[in-house]
């Protein structure tokens, strides 16, 4: 089953020790290759490569943006006073008052404003333990995104199949009128030959007829178009990530359609080839959205 290139997945969950709530959002956008960017809180930044690998294990193409938020920072549990620093400040204040006769009192607000006087110590929490507890939340968000990509992929494939069916019908129509076109072209050639056959030898005449017959024969182009359509439908149904292969097959379909248009030299076939090209272009736009 083909997946859409675009999608969004969200998940939330709690880590118990320490208690933190994580919110994860993953967005996928169209991109020729796989490009993963992450925005993580500080406690998960050491594991950004691991987070990318988790996404990479499920996605092959697209620009993926992973945004992880937490409801709060890991709060400090211990507050300490730098006692040597405080003693130095108090001693300096006393010296200023005694030696320079400076008046005034030191209050608590003044002390708390001293840089570095109050120290906060973080709890001893292993980042790896936090990441292990967070991992199920990440995987849940990835699963949510894949479900949306799959749902959109089903709709895209449905539209592509309609165009593929139309191309097959147009191709059958071309094959139906080929005998009519050959009869017309044969009559046209013989009318031209009558005017020049006195000027050409019999061998040269046959060479010219053979050359024109080969130059205007579209049988092989029709066969190759049928073959490419068959491969296209097979890849669309059976490949999980058919985007690159479908793009290649579209190039082949376009090439054969161009050749068919040049060689046909018949109005009905030329008009039908234009319709085929229109459907190929519709498919091309849709395939850009497939992973």
pLDDT digits (tens, 9 = 90+) for 173-187: 999 988 887 777 777
pLDDT at 89 (0 to 100): 85
CA pair distance 96, 115, nearest whole angstrom: 20
> Model confidence over 232-258: pLDDT tens digits?
999 988 888 898 899 999 999 999 999
Question: What are the average pLDDT values for consecutive 10-residue runs of the chain, which has 291 residues?
Answer: 91 86 95 93 90 95 95 65 88 83 81 82 68 95 96 93 95 89 72 61 58 69 92 89 91 92 83 95 93 88
- Measured at the CA of 281, the angle between CA 277 and CA 287, to 5 degrees, comes to 140
- Predicted TM-score (pTM) of the model is 0.68
pLDDT at 265 (0 to 100): 76
CATH number of 7-74+128-150: 3.30.230.10
pLDDT at 199 (0 to 100): 58
Residue-range domain boundaries for the chain: 7-74+128-150, 78-121, 154-287
pLDDT at 58 (0 to 100): 93
DSSP reduced 3-state for 19? coil
260-268: Cβ within 8 A, 24+ apart: 260/174, 260/218, 260/221, 260/222, 260/225, 263/215, 263/216, 263/217, 263/218, 263/221, 264/174, 264/181, 264/216, 264/218, 265/181, 265/185, 265/216, 266/177, 266/181, 266/184, 266/185, 268/177, 268/181
pLDDT at 184 (0 to 100): 74
pLDDT at 161 (0 to 100): 94
Query: Which two three-digit tokens encode residue 158?
Result: 């449905």
pLDDT at 193 (0 to 100): 65
> Model confidence over 47-72: pLDDT tens digits?
999 999 999 999 999 999 999 999 86
Q: Among 60, 27, 54, which Cα is nearest to 245's?
A: 60
CA pair distance 249, 283, nearest whole angstrom: 11
């Amino acid at each position: 089953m083909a997946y859409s290139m675009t999608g969004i997945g969200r998940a939330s969950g709690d880590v118990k020790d320490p208690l933190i709530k994580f919110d994860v959002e993953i967005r996928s956008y169209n991109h020729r290759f796989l490009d993963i960017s992450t925005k993580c809180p500080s406690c998960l930044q050491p594991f950004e490569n691991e987070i990318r690998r988790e996404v990479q294990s499920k996605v092959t193409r697209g620009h993926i943006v992973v945004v992880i938020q937490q409801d709060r920072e890991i709060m400090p549990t211990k507050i300490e006073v730098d006692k040597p620093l405080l003693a130095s400040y108090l001693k300096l204040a006393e010296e200023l008052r005694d030696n320079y006769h400076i008046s005034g009192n030191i209050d608590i607000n003044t002390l708390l404003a001293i840089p570095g006087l109050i120290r906060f110590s973080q709890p001893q929490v292993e980042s790896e333990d936090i990441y292990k507890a967070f991992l199920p939340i990440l995987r849940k968000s990835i699963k949510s995104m894949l479900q949306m990509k799959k749902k959109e992929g089903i709709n895209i494939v449905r539209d592509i199949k309609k165009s593929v069916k139309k191309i097959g019908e147009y191709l059958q129509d071309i094959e139906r009128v080929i005998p009519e076109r050959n009869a017309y072209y044969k009559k046209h050639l013989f009318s031209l030959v009558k005017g020049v056959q006195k000027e050409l030898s019999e061998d040269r005449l046959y060479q010219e007829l053979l050359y024109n017959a080969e130059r205007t024969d579209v049988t092989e182009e029709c066969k190759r178009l049928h073959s490419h359509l068959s491969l296209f439908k097979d890849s669309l149904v059976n490949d999980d990530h058919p985007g690159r292969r479908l793009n290649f097959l579209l190039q082949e379909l376009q090439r054969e359609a161009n050749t068919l248009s040049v060689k046909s030299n018949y109005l009905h076939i030329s008009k039908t080839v234009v319709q085929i090209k229109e459907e190929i272009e519709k498919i091309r736009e849709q395939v850009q959205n497939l992973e």
